[in-house]
Amino acid sequence: MGITDMIAGFIQEALDDAGGVLEMQRGDLAQRFGCVPSQINYVMSTRFSPEHGYIVESRRGGGGYIRITRVHVDRQTLMMHVINSIGSEIDPASARAILSNLVQSEAIPAQTGKLLVSLLSDTALRSVPKDQRSVLRADLLKQALIHLV
């Protein structure tokens, strides 16, 4: 088990014990796991995102903290949040991560996620000039998700 999994597991357990709202010091957590604070930021952004059902508030500085709140949103709200969070461009890895999160949260079926990952790949878009693929990929992903709402 990697350090990211250990940190995420610790936070998840602490969240469960705290009843769904947890406040902690980033520095204390980094010290506990012997890592840099940016590793904690990575865990927050990849494991405790709105797509995963969490709201993360952060205040930096000496008295800084991280507050994680577990929220339960309906499928439509989740999908609209994801659609609105996609910028004007997206790379294949980010599209794959978004679709993986949607599959994990059961917002879309696994087959649909796999199909969309394939359709948004550089291989599928090879006839499009490289400098235009990220823009087209973002537009396609948004439209596909809008259709699935």
- The CATH code that applies to domain 75-148 is 1.10.1200
CB 9 within 8 A of CB 3: no
CB 52 within 8 A of CB 101: yes
**To which H or E segment does residue 70 belong?**
strand 65-70
pLDDT tens digits along 35-71: 988 888 888 888 887 767 788 887 766 666 888 988 7
CATH class for the domain made up of 3-70: alpha beta
* Residue bearing tokens 């699935």: 148
- Overall average pLDDT of the 78-87 stretch: 87
Residue limits of CATH 3.30.56.130 in the chain: 3-70
pLDDT of 18 over the 70 cut: yes
Residue 63, token pair as written in the block: 């008295």
pLDDT tens digits along 111-124: 999 999 999 999 99
Residue limits of CATH 1.10.1200 in the chain: 75-148
Which residues are CB-neighbours of 125 under 8 A, at least 6 positions away?
Answer: 133, 136, 137
